[in-house]
Structure 1
Amino acid sequence: MIPPRWVWHLRDAQGDEMTEPRCPVFTNRFDAEQWLGESWRDLARQGASVAELYNDGTQAAAGVVLSTEVAPPPR
């Protein structure tokens, strides 16, 4: 039996899918989400604006916005 494949697809600010940086393939969702939690700052610095999680070629969740900008506090 082949384990499920979880992979992040990255999009730039224009919404185009990025070919670099490459994301590893994971056998479970937990590991994929943990990796993104550890890597999102570096990915954002490399131009990624959104990360979309796919499971065996099907999008598994809404995209995650990657931004290193701090939002102003609410007034």
Structure 2
Amino acid sequence: MTWTWTLETAAGEVTGRSEPFESRSDAESWVGEAFGELLEQGVDQVRLFDGEAEIYGPMSLHAEA
């Protein structure tokens, strides 16, 4: 299977999908490195998928208040 992120607005509207990753670890490392750029692009939250199965999310990219 491949691991991907869906990229979403705060309202849950899907605005895109990440590149595919070979492992969960690679996918999680990528989102950790790219979250600043994603916020600049208007992405508020992400969901992690293994193939078509949602693993977790939504995960906010904003700091907790």
**TM bucket by the smaller chain?**
0.7 to 0.9
Count of residue pairs the alignment pairs up: 65
* Secondary structure of 1:27 counterpart: coil
TM-score by length of 1: 0.77
**Which of these residues, 28, 51, 54, is aligned with residue 59 of structure 1?**
54
User: Alignment RMSD, CA only?
Assistant: 1.5
Which shifted more, 32-41 or 54-63?
54-63
**4+ residue stretches of structure 1 with deviation over 3 A?**
none
Could you say which structure has the larger radius of gyration? 1
Of Structure 1 and Structure 2, the greater strand share is in 2
Unmatched 5+ stretches in structure 1:
none
Q: Percent identity?
A: 31
Unmatched 5+ stretches in structure 2:
none
